[in-house]
Amino acid sequence: MAIPFQKKKSLGQNFLRSNSVVKKIVASAHIEKDEIVLEVGPGKGILTKALLEAGAQVIAIEKDHRLIPELLETFQKEISEKRFTLIEGDILELFPGDIPSITQGNYKVVANIPYYISGALLRIFLESVCQPNSMVLMLQKEVARRIVARDGKESILSISVKAYGVPKYIDTVKKEQFKPIPKVDSAILAVEHISRDFFTHITQKYFFTVLKTAFGQKRKTIGNTLRKVFAEKTENILTSAGLTKNVRPEDLTLVDWKRIVSGVQ
């Protein structure tokens, strides 16, 4: 049976209907037998079915209560075999309180998620004390492109994701592969090798303070914006990091940002 959670107003979803896309998502997740996979928003279960067939133990979290009866009916065999657990609830409210105990601390995330929660979902999982080993997400194409910085320009989103893992743009998914058809194309994004190793010698909170300050006025050079954090030490810190004060935040790599913060701490 479904594990009850606070019901919220039902929301419309764009259901993936392409089996070839589903296969690509599952292949990108590198599922091993009996591995725990957390699926956010299973919808009508097309991806869920493929994950189970790949040997995963699936924990699915669905916010729309209208979809619960169909999912329970479709996967009643897997539920009886304890290979499938269905939780009715909002992932943004549920995490991180219950997820660590549900997943036993070792899991992957695979999901076709609503565009409006993309940033929040990335943040809660990557920053969590119970990080997934990897994530494979269906996102809005432009968001996925921004995360991997396909145009060569970094953003606060791309640097934030790269601080925790290695993002990889898998493939573009045309909007016609969904029903109802959304207004824009999507993309499969994988984030692999998730850890906190980047923050071994620097403070996570301070790193993001510096990052947010710089990208708060991204058209200005870092020599100007970072004065709000470093004051008169700014130029010396940038010089020590091998940078000039005239570069803009979008031109700096993750390594550059680590050198800046390391020069202070």
pLDDT digits (tens, 9 = 90+) for 20-41: 999 999 999 999 999 999 999 9
- Residue 151: pLDDT band with limits 50, 70, 90: confident
Q: Are residues 175 and 228 in the same domain?
A: no
Q: What pLDDT shows up at residue 1?
A: 34
Kind plus residue range of the DSSP H or E element containing 191? strand 186-192
Cα separation of 70 and 74, whole Å?
A: 6
245 lies in some domain: yes
- Domain boundary pick from 168, 195, 222: 195
**Mean local confidence (pLDDT), 176-189:** 94
**Mean local confidence (pLDDT), 220-224:** 94
Q: Are residues 183 and 216 in the same domain?
A: no
Q: What is the token pair recorded at 214?
A: 């710089």
Omega before residue 96 within 30° of 0, cis: yes
Q: Transcribe 172-187 into DSSP letters.
A: EE-GGGEES--SS-EE
Q: Are residues 139 and 19 in the same domain?
A: yes
Instruction: Using alpha carbons, list the distances in angstroms from residue 95 to 89, 115, 123, 126, 190.
Output: 10, 18, 11, 12, 20
Q: What pLDDT shows up at residue 229?
A: 93
- Domain boundary pick from 195, 211, 231: 195
Q: Are residues 254 and 165 in the same domain?
A: no
Is residue 217 over pLDDT 80?
A: yes
94 lies in some domain: yes
Spatial CB neighbours of 6, under 8 Å, sequence gap ≥ 6? 89, 90, 93
Q: What pLDDT shows up at residue 238?
A: 95
- Tell me how many degrees the CA angle 197-198-201 measures, rounded to the nearest 5: 90
- Tell me how many degrees the CA angle 210-128-150 measures, rounded to the nearest 5: 60
Is residue 114 over pLDDT 60?
A: yes
Q: What pLDDT shows up at residue 7?
A: 35
Is residue 129 over pLDDT 90?
A: no
Is residue 104 over pLDDT 80?
A: no
- Residue 99: pLDDT band with limits 50, 70, 90: low
Higher pLDDT, 237 or 94: 237
191 strand-pairing partners: 135, 167
Cα separation of 251 and 200, whole Å?
A: 24
Asked if residue 178 lies in contact with residue 14, where contact means CB atoms within 8 angstroms, the answer is yes
Is residue 11 over pLDDT 60?
A: no
Burial 226-245 (b: 16+ CB within 10 A, else e): beebbeeebeebbeebebee
Cα separation of 87 and 136, whole Å?
A: 20
160 lies in some domain: yes
Q: Are residues 251 and 152 in the same domain?
A: no
132 lies in some domain: yes
Q: How many domains is the chain partitioned into structurally?
A: 2
240 lies in some domain: yes
**Mean local confidence (pLDDT), 187-195:** 97
Q: Are residues 121 and 213 in the same domain?
A: no
The position carrying tokens 């700014």 is: 234
Kind plus residue range of the DSSP H or E element containing 108? strand 108-112
Residue 77: domain span = 15-195
CATH number of the domain encompassing residue 219: 1.10.8.100
Torsion sign (Cα): 223, 227, 230, 236 = positive
**Mean local confidence (pLDDT), 153-160:** 95
Q: Are residues 133 and 241 in the same domain?
A: no
Q: What pLDDT shows up at residue 244?
A: 93
> What global pTM score does this model have?
0.90
Q: Are residues 189 and 209 in the same domain?
A: no
186 lies in some domain: yes
- Residue 2: pLDDT band with limits 50, 70, 90: very low
- Phi and psi for 240 in degrees, rounded to 5? -65, -30
Q: Are residues 99 and 221 in the same domain?
A: no
Please tell me what DSSP assigns to residue 233.
G
